[in-house]
Structure formats: structure tokens, C-alpha cells
Amino acid sequence: MAGREAVRKAVQQVRPILSVDREEARKRALNLYKAWYRQIPYIVMDYDIPKTVEQCRAKLREEFEKHRNVSDVRVIDMLVIRVKWN
């Protein structure tokens, strides 16, 4: 019982990375997806990628779908930061 209380207090004291709540983290992830989706035609053209725009967009969707079930706000923020800067 005391262990549960300690965990609960520790979880409540964790500071957010970027987003305050899950909805804000969701919006950040969705905005990142939209930005990449819009840039794919330019990426394919500029870097002469031997794939079609549709194939690249399907791959983008696949990569975002991998993390569909992530619900921790801090993990979502870390994934957004990692994708944004890599």
C-alpha cells in the first residue's frame, strides 16, 4: 500500500517535456504527421528517391502507426522531438 502511494506521488511530480496533457501531445504528433505528409513530394523530387509519393506516404503512415498505442505524454513528446530533429 505504501509503495503505491509513493509511485502515485512520483508520477504526479514528473514535469512535462513539451505537452501539458495528452490532447496537446496528440495535436503535436498530428501536426508533425501533416508537415511530413505535405513535404513528401518535395523530398522525393529533391533527393531523387526511387519511390513514388504514394509509397513514401504509406511508409510515413506505417511509421506513425507503430506508435499508435503510446499513451504516456512524455513518451509521445520524446518521439515527436526525435522525429523532428533527426
Confidence (pLDDT) at 9: 62
Task: Give the integer Cα–Cα distance in Å for 17 and 83.
Answer: 15
Q: What is the pLDDT of residues 23-79, one digit of tens each?
A: 999 999 999 999 999 999 999 999 999 999 999 999 999 999 999 999 999 999 999
Predicted confidence (pLDDT) at residue 15 exceeds the cutoff of 90: no
For the question of whether the overall pTM of this predicted structure is more than 0.85, the answer is no
